[in-house]
Amino acid sequence: MDNNLVDGGHLKAFIERIEKLEEEKRAIADDIKDVYGEAKGTGFDPKIIRKIVSLRRQDKSKREEEEEILGLYLAALGME
């Protein structure tokens, strides 16, 4: 007789679904690392590729606006 109010089978099912997904996520993260490694092996700079991937996710007009403000600030600071 179960004197525990927790449904172990149900809980285990949730945990195993999460573990399977976490496993898949780690595999994809490894794949991403591999592509960067491959790009590096071909002579590309992984850091710059990472920057471009990030830039491409940003809204273009928003990015341009930020670049413009950055330019104004750097000029005001005499940093350019």
Residues 49-68 that bind its own copies (CB under 8 A): 49, 51-53, 55-56, 66
User: Is residue 29 near its own copies by the rule CB under 8 A?
Assistant: yes
Which residues does 71 contact at the CB level (< 8 Å), separation at least 6? 80
CB of 1 to its own copies, least distance (A): 14
In angstroms, rounded to a whole number, what is the distance separating the alpha carbons of residues 29 and 80?
A: 37
Question: Max CA-CA distance within the chain?
Answer: 77
- Site residues (vs its own copies, CB under 8 A): 4-8, 10-12, 14-15, 17-19, 21-22, 24-25, 28-29, 31-32, 35-36, 38-39, 42, 44-45, 47-49, 51-53, 55-56, 66, 69-70, 72-79
